[in-house]
A and B are shown apart, each in its own frame.
Chain A
């Protein structure tokens, strides 16, 4: 049955997808293209293009897209559910272990090593997103010729609004979206 097959496929991806973000891509490719022939390679590449510009993690997006393609809305739900189920079980288990053994010397040491690492990863995401928003590239560019001025303005204003606590998280996201659209009209 197709629903069960979809569920199992994405469960498998969910279990072996270690390392976050793009780690899921080759796994999904294996299941969806090589094993089950649900999508062709160009269709699969479309999933990426869409994932870049729609909200949500790429794994969930791919699950939804593939599910819809194969078995409609039901397929999308089943595939997403399959992808999330292993995460759910593993994370609840880890949360329980954390409450129980979080204070044991070795575990404490590991967590003390990981917490600053998360700050480093957030910083990395911050810089990457900054260059992506202003120069449309993930790395720091060689020249400033391609600077997106309206993007820079929106970013600066949003940052001030957040810093001065004028806007909350969600208001900031919505206001920035609207402002960028409005700017395009004003500049034109």
Chain B
């Protein structure tokens, strides 16, 4: 990969805009970064992205920021990490600084709410597309264990509200004891 000025500008711009337009925060930004870096720019592949997100998820801090740091680092070392982090953090910093002065206007303005709601729907469409794509690829591999983990994690998180930390820990232990074989890569 060529890490010239053009690359850094693209990395900064795309991360900045995704962070700026993604309402709801947290885990939501991850599928969008994936859609951009993997599906649109082909800077990373599915497997390494999922690996990095799983590390980002298990480490302390915010998943969105952690993911940006490790993806940026993977693509372009320290400067990539700085670039992606700055681009993730700046939009909420700018927007919230402004909003904190105009809170009541922002909270009650009907048109602002409509645009935000629309963006939320757009983000949802993108997440569903990434989710569909990943599930389809996983299903095609026809390896039972990972599919069971995916379903189990989904059920535990969505329907049973288990603490994310315990879910991830259990999955890591299952992996440690059962999935060391290369066919699970």
Chain A contacts to B: CB under 8 angstroms: 14-24, 46, 49-61, 64-65, 68-69, 73, 76-77, 80, 83-84, 86-88, 90-92, 94-95, 98, 102, 105-106, 108-130, 132-133, 151, 154-156, 158-159, 161-163, 168-170, 172-181, 184
14 more A-B residue pairs beyond the given contacts A92-B73, A109-B184, A180-B114, with a C-beta to C-beta distance below 8 A: A18-B59, A23-B164, A55-B92, A56-B91, A57-B25, A65-B100, A113-B171, A118-B53, A119-B150, A127-B158, A129-B123, A133-B117, A173-B123, A176-B121
Distance in angstroms from A3 CB to nearest chain B CB is: 15
Across the interface, do A155 and B172 meet the contact criterion of CB distance under 8 Å? no
Across the interface, do A88 and B120 meet the contact criterion of CB distance under 8 Å? no
* Residue in A84, A114, A177 whose CB lies within 8 Å of B122: A177
Which of A68, A90, A91 has the most chain B CB atoms inside 10 A of its CB? A91
Across the interface, do B27 and A17 meet the contact criterion of CB distance under 8 Å? no
* Residue in A84, A105, A133 whose CB lies within 8 Å of B120: A133
Across the interface, do B26 and A21 meet the contact criterion of CB distance under 8 Å? yes
Task: Specify the chain B residue showing the minimal Cβ separation from A163.
Answer: B129
Across the interface, do B57 and A118 meet the contact criterion of CB distance under 8 Å? yes
Interface CB pairs A-B, < 8 A, 19: A18-B165, A53-B23, A58-B26, A87-B69, A88-B69, A88-B81, A90-B60, A91-B59, A109-B179, A114-B51, A115-B47, A116-B147, A117-B54, A119-B150, A130-B128, A151-B118, A173-B22, A175-B122, A181-B118
Task: Specify the chain A residue showing the minimal Cβ separation from B59.
Answer: A90
Known: A53-B116, A128-B158. A172 touches B122 (CB 8 A): yes
Across the interface, do B60 and A180 meet the contact criterion of CB distance under 8 Å? no
- Which residues of chain B come closer than 8 Å to A161, judged between CB atoms? 125
- The residues in B between 113 and 148 inclusive whose CB is less than 8 angstroms from any CB of A are 113-131, 134-135, 138, 145-147
Known: A121-B157, A154-B118. A114 touches B175 (CB 8 A): yes
Known: A59-B62, A119-B134, A128-B158. A50 touches B114 (CB 8 A): no
Across the interface, do B172 and A110 meet the contact criterion of CB distance under 8 Å? yes
- Which residues of chain A come closer than 8 Å to B70, judged between CB atoms? 91, 94-95
Task: Specify the chain B residue showing the minimal Cβ separation from A128.
Answer: B158
- Which residues of chain B come closer than 8 Å to A64, judged between CB atoms? 92-93, 96-97, 100
- The residues in B between 15 and 65 inclusive whose CB is less than 8 angstroms from any CB of A are 17-32, 35-36, 40, 47, 50-65
Q: Once the chains are docked, how many angstroms separate the CA of A76 from the CA of B184?
A: 44
Q: Once the chains are docked, how many angstroms separate the CA of A132 from the CA of B25?
A: 14
- Which residues of chain B come closer than 8 Å to A174, judged between CB atoms? 21, 119, 122
Distance in angstroms from B164 CB to nearest chain A CB is: 5
Distance in angstroms from A56 CB to nearest chain B CB is: 3
Q: Once the chains are docked, how many angstroms separate the CA of A17 from the CA of B164?
A: 12
Which of A20, A92, A156 has the most chain B CB atoms inside 10 A of its CB? A20
Instruction: Indicate if B78 sits at the interface (CB-CB under 8 A).
Output: yes
Instruction: Indicate if B177 sits at the interface (CB-CB under 8 A).
Output: yes
